[in-house]
Structure 1
């Protein structure tokens, strides 16, 4: 009986201490997209594949490569909350070749650049996708996102609930075996 309880306690300790917290995603991949007609958006995912849907301030700045015309931004991108972590630029870039820079705030803290061609109305568009790898920062790897109590605790609660049920079942089984043998916790001298 004691060995079973010891094993159960060891499993509980390993489950609680084993993995990284649910919010520790590591680095990120940010991809700058353009449809070739002036629309620009980004998709962002953590290194573990989860979309970056946490409130992340993202600004876009675009400078014409040829030097003609005014620069755009910095403009704040709008988060869509989709499964790809999409954030969109509300305007449209004019025809020409643009150097687009995207700056992401906490919890990502990164920067991505892409050359984005925008076709004239009578030309064929050339869509663009440029991916940037952003290494993990102390913020993205260790701190919970703002407004949360520390990430997703659902797997931990399921594990602890399952262990509690297993412990109760083990206790019931042991008590039933003792009852079947006639053991009722009475010292043998009083029988």
Structure 2
């Protein structure tokens, strides 16, 4: 009885030894790598097992290289990271491709071998108007002319009239004093005396000339 139990245990153990490799290789030995394109410049890929199409649960060790169509520029190698927008088989790059046409190739080395490539076009995205990166600026608002002040009401008019009446009238010019009047009279008389004296002198001179003329003629 004990011998049978030991034999059955040995057979079970051998069966497990033969079964484990088959379970380990159920997905196959190669990976299917499909470069699906780009999203905002990030390369997007889908990686599944070649045999059954299941997504890869393990970490993927892969390199991404990009060459411009004209062959003048190369980018990479970059690594692949999980793409939360295309889980569970989605992978992407943290780096961004600049605008242009690129020949993208992806080579996977772990957990199995895989390769994929695709020509990817990254369009030029114009900046939104009015942002910090754009050159356009929003126009300044047109100033609105202020409305004219309303006419004063009767009460305000009465107040302004009363305020004007409250202001004392300007005082008249002071009347000339006696001293200023006397000074004016003195100046007038002096001027008149000078004129009379000049006229008298002229008359006397005229009479003297006439007498001299008569003497010469007589």
What TM-score comes out, normalization by structure 1 length? 0.49
> Which of the two has greater strand per residue?
1
Greater gyration radius: 2
> Which of the two has greater helix per residue?
2
